[in-house]
Structure 1
Amino acid sequence: MSPASPPGGSFAPLAQPVFAVLWAATVLGNTGSFMRDVASSWLMTDLSASPAAVAMVQAAGTLPIFLLAIPAGVLTDILDRRKFLIAVQLLLASVSITLMILAQTGMLSVGALIGLTFLGGVGAALMGPTWQAIVPELVKREDVKSAIALNSLGINIARSIGPAAGGLLLAALGAGVTYGVDVASYLVVIAALIWWPRASKTDDALAEGFFGAFRAGLRYTRASRPLHVVLLRAAVFFAFASAVWALLPLVARQMLGGDASFYGILLGAVGAGAIGGAFVMPKLRERLSPDGLLLGAALTAAAVMATLSLAPPKWIAIVALLFLGAAWITALTTLNGTAQAVLPNWVRGRGLAVYLTVFNGAMTAGSIGWGAVGEAAGLSGTLLISAAGLAVAGIVMHRLKLPAGDADMVPSNHWPEPLVAEPVGHDRGPVLILIEYHVEKHNRTAFLHAIDRLSHERRRDGAYGWGVTEDSADPQKMVEWFMVESWAEHLRQHRRVSNADADLQGKLLTYHKGPGKPVVRHFLAINRPGKT
C-alpha cells in the first residue's frame, strides 16, 4: 500500500454496517433524484424551446442551495441530524408526488415546473451539509477521508444510472412513472434513517442557538484564509463549467438530434466517466498535486465543451462526456476534500454550507448567464466561449495554490478554565480578554508577526474584535485584547482551539520573557443602574 493510501483502504468504510446501509440508501435516493431531474429538464424542452427557459430549470434547482445552504449548515450543527434528514426526505417526496400528479393529468406548466424544481432545490439545500457532516459519526476517524471519497463515488454511480434509467422510463412509460419511482426512492432512504441506531443528542449547557451559531459560522468563514482560497477556486471553476450542464438538454436535442433516452445516455456517460475517474484518481494523486488535478480537470472540461460545440456524431459526444465526468469528479473531490481538511468539527456543517453556497451560486449565476449568452450567440458559440474562459481561468488560478489541509484541527483543550469570583451567567457579555506579554526589543518584529497569525485563530473561534497594544511607560509590556459577545461564547472558544492553534500559540510564547506565563484577565460588561 502506498504511503498516501488511507490506513483502512479506500473501501474500508463499507465494512461498517451503518455507513454501508446509509451509503446504499443514499445511492438509491440520488438515483431517483437524477431520474426526476432528467424528466423535468426534458419536459421543459417540450413546454418551451427557449435556451433561457431551459437553463432556468438548472437555475431553479441550484438557487435555493445558494440562498439556504448557510442556514441549513447552522441547523446541521444544532439539531438532531437524523430527524432533520427524515423531515427533508418527506419534503422531497411531496415535491415528486406533486410533479407526478401534474404530469399524469397534463396540467404541468412552465411556471409549475420551475416552482416545484425550486422546492426540490430547497430540500437539496437543507440536506447537503447534513449528509456530509454526519460522515465522522458513521466511520472510524482514520476512515473519514475514504468515506468522503465513497460518498462522491456514490453520487456518480447514481449519476451514471439515474439519467439513463430516467430517460428510458420517460420515453417508455412517461413522466408520471418516472416521478413515481423517485418517490419510492425517498421512502427507502427514510427507512434507512429510521433504522440508524444513532445515540440521542445529550443536553449541553453551552449548546448554540440558531442566530448565535449563524454569526459564529460567518465569523469563522470571514477569518479563515485557507477556506477563502478554496471558495475562490471553486467559484471560478464552476461558473465557467456550468455552461455544459445548463445547455446540455438543448445540445442533445437540437445539435445532436437525440431524444429523451439519448439525453439520459449522455448524462449516464458523465456518471460512468466519474466512476472511472474515481478509480484512477489515487494513481493521479501520486503524480499530481491538488492544484495539478484541478488544472487538468479545467482543461479537460474545456476540451469537452469545445468538442460539443462542433455538433459531433453521437458516439463522439458520448465519449467526450465520459471525459467530462472524470474531470467533474476530480474537481469536486479535490475542492470538497480540501474544504473538509481545513474545517474543524465544531463548524464543519456551517463551513461546508458556505462551500455549497459558493458552488451552487456559481452554478446558478453561470446557468442564467450562459442561457442569456445562448440567446445571443447560439449554442455552439456559447460552448466555445465558456470553454475558452474555463481554460484561461484554470491556467490563471493555478498560481493561487490550494491549502495543504494537513493542520491538526482536533480540539486541544489546553486552555485552563477562566478564574471567576462567582458564577457568571452564560448570556452575560460582551467579554473583554486581556493577555499580557513581556517581549524584548530584539524580538518585537517576530512577535508581532506571530501574533498577527494568531489573530485569525481568535476571530475564527469567536472574537469579533482583536488588537495588540503596548504600555507607553514600558514598550516591552504588550497586551493582546479580543472581545467575545458573551460568556458562553468565550467558554465555547475554549472548546474550539485546535492542536494546530495550540502549536501557533506555543510559538508565540517563545517570545514572552516575563516571569511565569502571560497574565490572562477576563472583563465583563456591567449594566449600570438605569441602563439597559
Structure 2
Amino acid sequence: MSRGTISADEREAGAFAPLRQPGFRWLWPAVVVSYVGVWGQTVGAQWLLVNGPNASVTVALIQTAATLPMMLFTFPGGVLADRFDRRWILLATQLYVAATAVVLALLTAAGLATPPVVLSFTFLIALGGAFQLPTWQATLPEIVPRKELGSATRLEMVGVNFGRSVGPALAGVLIALAGVPWVFILTAATALVLAGSVLTWRRQPQTVAPRARERFLPALRAGIRYVRHDASVRRILLKAMLFIAPATILWALIPMVAREQLGVSAGGYGALFGALGVGAILAALTVGRLRALMSTNTLLVFAGIAYALVLAALVLVPVFAVALVALVIAGAAWTAIIATLNAELQVILPAWVRARGLAVYLVVFTGSQAVASILWGQLAAYAGITVAFLAAAALVLATTLTGLLLRMPETRGVNPDAIAYWADISGLIELQPTGGPILITVEYTVENAEHAAFLATTADLRRSRLRNGATRWELYRVAETPDLFVETFAVDSWEEHQSQHQDRLTAADQRIEQATQSYISKPPTSRHLIPPDTT
C-alpha cells in the first residue's frame, strides 16, 4: 500500500544519520555495551539453572524476573525522568547495577547461587533497567532531530539485539574458560562503561527554559490520565501487547530449543542469538526504505507473518542451519515491529509527558513478557516445546491479522511541541501552587441551528482537557438561556492549571478548541473558581 507523496521534511533520515549527532554518537555505543552485560547476566543465570530440576519452569522464570521490575517500576522511573536531570538518573542506575552484579558474582563463587538467589538478583539487576530505559528513551528526542527518531530507535533495537547476541556469546566463552561468576563481573564492567560515558557527556544547552518540577504523585497521576485519554497512545500500546505476548516465547524458551530441539552447547546457543542480532542489523538498514514504499500497517503485518512462520519452523524443522536462517528473519521482524511502534509513540508524545508515556509502553512491553513467559514455560512443561511454539505461532498470526482492522494512528505531520495559546492568568487572586482544587468554566453562546454541530465537537474537547490534566469534565446547557452552554473542568491544584497554560497544550489541542468555537456567535467567557477560604 502506497503512503503517497512524502515531502523531504517528512522523509526519514538514513539508517546511520543519528550517529552524526554528538550526543547520540557518544552515548549510544556505551548503552549498547551495557546491553551486552545485561544479556550476559541473563544467560549466566539461565545456565546456572538449565540442568536443575523443573528446568523448563525455572529457566522461563529468569525471563520473568528480568522483566517484572519493568512492569512494576518503569512508570515511577518515567515520572522521575520527567522531573529530574536525566543525566544523573542514568549515572546512578549504572552504579547500582554494577554493585549488585558484583555481589551476585561473589555469591556464585561461594557456591550460594541457589535458584531463589539467582532469581532475586536477576530481579534486582533488572530494577536498574526499569529506571534506565525510560530515561534513555526520553533522552533520544533531546539528542537527535525529529526526522531521525525512527532511525535512532532502530539503532537502539540493533543495540539491544547486539547485546542479545554478543552478551550470550561472551557469557558462553567466560563460562567455559573461567566460570559463571565472571559473567556477572562482565555485567558490572559494562555498567561502569555507560556510567563513565554519561559522566563525560557534553550535554547541549537546552533551547527552552526548564519547567517547574512537578510533585511526584501529581506527576504520576497526570501521566496516567494522559495515556488513558489519548486514543493514539492507547492503540499503539494495544498493538504492542497483542504482538509481544505470544512472540516472547522465543526469548523465554530459546535455551530449551537449543538444548532439546537442536542439541547445541553454550557456543551454539550464542550463535543462535548472533543470528537474531544479524536480523536486527538488516532491519535497521532496510526498514526506513520500506516505510517509504508501504504504510506502517502493511509493514507491521508482513513482519508479524514472518515472525509467526519462524516460530513454527524452529520446532518443525529442528536443523541448526535452518534455525540460524530463521532467527535472522525473526530478529529482523521483531526489530521492525518493536522499533516502529516505539518510534511512532515518541513522535506523538509531548515533551512534558514523554518519559511517562514511554514508561507505560515499557510496562506493557515487559509486563506482557513477564506474564507470557510464565504461561509459555508452563505450557512447554505440560505439552512440550513443539506444541508451545506452534500455539504461539498461531497467536502471532491471529493478532497480526487484527492489524488489518486495528490500524496504526496517522503520525505524519503531528507536532507534539507545546504552544501557549490560552490567555494569561496573571492578576487573579494569589494562590499557593498546591492550592486547589480549581474549577474552570467556559461559557459558549451557540445559535440554535448550530447546536448539533457544536455538540459533535465536544467529545474531542473532553479528551483534550482530560489528557492534559483535568480530573473531570462536564458540559451543561443553561435552562434560562437555551443558547448558552457551560463547559466545566476541574484540576487538582493551581500549579497543575499553570502547567496547562504553559507547556501542555499542543497544536492538536488548539485545533480541537478552534473546531468547537467555530460554532459560537461571540467569544467564550472563562472563569476560575477557587476554594472559598482562599485569601
* TM-score interval, normalised by the smaller of the two chains: over 0.9
Q: 1:489 is matched with which residue?
A: 496
C-alpha spacing 1:63/1:91, structure 2 compared with 1 (3 Å) = same
Residue 476 (structure 2) pairs with residue 469 (structure 1): yes
- Give the conservation status (yes or no) of the 8 Å contact 2:14–2:288: no
CA contact (8 A) 2:431 2:534 kept: no
Q: Which aligned pairs between 1:141-156 and structure 2 lie closer than 5 A?
A: 141-156=146-161
SS of the residue 2:316 aligns to: coil
Matched, 1:457 2:491: no
Greater shift after overlay, 462-471 or 137-146? 137-146
Match of 1:279 in 2: 285
Deviation at 1:205, TM superposition (A): 7.7
Deviations 1:234-258 (A, max 9, x none): 1111111111211111110112111
Q: Which one-letter code corresponds to 1:309 in the other structure?
A: V
Is 1:218 the equivalent of 2:224?
yes
- Which residue of the partner structure matches residue 89 of structure 2? 84
For residues 29-428 of structure 1, what are the structure 2 equivalents within 5 Å? Answer: 29-198=34-203, 206-310=212-316, 312-406=318-412, 407-418=414-425, 420-428=427-435
The 1:80/1:222 distance shift into structure 2, 3 A limit, reads same
- The amino acid that maps onto 2:482 is P
Query: How far has the Cα of 1:198 moved from its partner?
Result: 3.4
How large is the Cα RMSD of the aligned pairs?
Answer: 2.1
Write the distance in 1 (CA, Å) between the matches of 2:126 and 2:478: 56
Does 2-11 or 375-384 show the bigger shift? 2-11
Deviation readout 1:428-474 (Å, 9 max, x if unpaired): 11111111111112211111111211111100100001011111122
Letter in 2 for 1:15: R
Give the Cα separation in 1 of the matches to 2:284 and 2:191.
26
Deviation at 1:158, TM superposition (A): 2.8
Q: Could you list the runs of 5+ residues in structure 1 that have no partner in the other structure?
A: none
Kindly indicate whether the alpha-carbon contact (under 8 Å) linking 2:275 and 2:331 is maintained by their aligned counterparts in 1. Answer: yes
Instruction: Say if 1:468 and 1:198 are closer, same or farther in 2 by CA, change over 3 A.
Output: same
Count matched residues: 527
Mapped partners of 1:205, 1:226: distance in 2: 26
- The answer on whether the counterparts of 1:293 and 1:334 sit within 8 Å (CA) in structure 2 is no
When residues 323 and 486 of structure 1 are mapped into structure 2, their CA distance, relative to the original with a 3 A threshold, is same
Offset, 1:42: 1.9
Q: Report how far residue 92 of structure 1 moved.
A: 1.0
360 and 433 in structure 1: CA distance in 2 versus 1, 3 angstrom threshold: same
Deviation of 1:145 (Å): 3.8
Q: Once the two structures are superposed, what CA deviation does each residue of 1:96-128 show, in whole Å capped at 9, x if it has no partner?
A: 212222333332111111111111121111111
1:205 and 1:341, CA in 2 relative to 1: closer, same or farther beyond 3 A? closer
1:115–1:413 CA distance, 2 compared to 1 (3 A): same
2:433 alignment partner, SS class: coil
Larger CA deviation: 195-204 vs 266-275? 195-204
TM-score by length of 2: 0.94
- Alignment match, 1:440: 447
Quick one: distance in 1 between partners of 2:400 and 2:24? 35
Structure 2: gaps of 5 or more residues: none
Alignment correspondent of 1:505: 513
Q: Distance in 2 between matches of 1:528 and 1:75?
A: 31
TM-score (normalizing by structure 1) = 0.94
SS in structure 1 of the partner of residue 292 of structure 2: helix
CA 106–6 in structure 1, closer or farther in 2 if over 3 Å, else same: farther
Cα 1:205–1:162 change in 2 (3 A) is closer
Q: What is the DSSP-based 3-state SS (H/G/I as helix, E as strand, rest coil) of the residue aligned with 2:301?
A: helix
Deviation at 1:154, TM superposition (A): 2.4
Structure 2 SS opposite 1:88: helix
Q: Secondary structure at the match of 1:13?
A: helix
CA distance 1:62–1:16, shift in 2 (3 Å) = same
Alpha-carbon distance, 1:10 to partner? 3.5
User: Using the alignment, how far apart are the partners of 1:92 and 1:46 within structure 2?
Assistant: 27
1:211 Cα deviation from its structure 2 partner: 0.6
Q: 1:182 to 1:426 in 2, by over 3 A?
A: same
Q: Is the 8 A contact 2:262 2:318 kept in 1?
A: yes
Is 2:23–2:203's contact at 8 Å kept on the other side of the alignment?
A: no
Aligned to 2:528, the other structure's residue is in SS state strand
Q: CA deviation at 1:49?
A: 4.6
The equivalent of 1:28 in structure 2 is 33
Instruction: Describe the SS at the equivalent of 2:470.
Output: coil
Evaluate the alpha carbon distance shift between residue 318 and residue 454 of structure 1 in structure 2; reply closer, same or farther with a 3 A threshold.
same
* Matches of 2:428 and 2:316, distance apart in 1: 76
Partners of 1:455 and 1:154 lie apart in 2 by 41
CA distance in 1, matches of 2:148, 2:328: 29
Matched to 1:150, the amino acid is L
Per-residue deviation at 1:203?
9.6
- Structure 1 residue matching 2:441: 3-state secondary structure: strand
Aligned-partner Cα distance in 1 for 2:234–2:424:
32
The residue number in structure 1 matching 2:487 is 480
Please give the per-residue CA displacement for 1:40-80, whole angstroms capped at 9, x wherever unaligned: 22222033453111110000100110111111111111122
The percent identity for this pair of structures is 37
- Report if aligned partners of 1:418, 1:522 keep a CA contact under 8 Å in 2: no
8 Å CA contact 2:297–2:403 kept in 1: the answer is no
Matched residue type, 1:503: R
Q: Which moved more, 1:2-11 or 1:296-305?
A: 2-11
SS of residue in 1 equivalent to 2:349: coil
Aligned letter for 1:136?
A: P
Q: Which amino acid aligns with 2:31?
A: T
AA matched with 1:420: G
The CA deviation at 1:423 is: 2.0
Q: Moved runs in structure 1, 4+ residues, more than 4 A?
A: 1-8, 199-205
Offset of residue 364 of structure 1: 0.7
Aligned-partner residue type, residue 218 of structure 1: I
In structure 2, C-alpha distance between the alignment counterparts of 1:400 and 1:443, rounded to whole Å: 33
Q: Contact between 1:153 and 1:278, CA under 8 Å: does it hold in 2?
A: yes
